[in-house]
Amino acid sequence: MAQTVNVNFKLDADVKKSMEQACADMGLTMSAAFTVFAKKVGREKRIPFEISADPFFSESNMAHLRRGAAALNAGKGVEHEPIEDDSE
């Protein structure tokens, strides 16, 4: 059997609790789930699910938001109410 090692990292408490429950529901420990994940990444040389950036946090949008905040802080901007989404 291969030698095992400890790997330590931090998780948000709510994320950990949610993952522990999901793992328990599948009959797994968190350690087993992370081992499955690590083996799949090692074998496939990729993250085994899609990861994408939230466009809200794009640099161009953040620059736009900073300009708007600066204008508001300088008393030059116009504050608007958020648009309500009626599609729900």
The pLDDT of residue 79 is 73
Distance CA 70, CA 64 (A): 10
Quickly tell me which residue has 């420990």 as its tokens.
29
pLDDT tens, per residue, the chain with 88 residues: 789 999 999 999 999 999 999 999 999 999 999 999 999 999 999 999 888 878 888 888 889 989 988 988 898 877 778 888 776 5
The pLDDT of residue 30 is 95
Note the pTM of the prediction, 2 decimals: 0.57
User: What's the CA dihedral at 17, 22, 28, 29 to 10 degrees?
Assistant: -10
Distance CA 62, CA 78 (A): 18
The pLDDT of residue 88 is 57
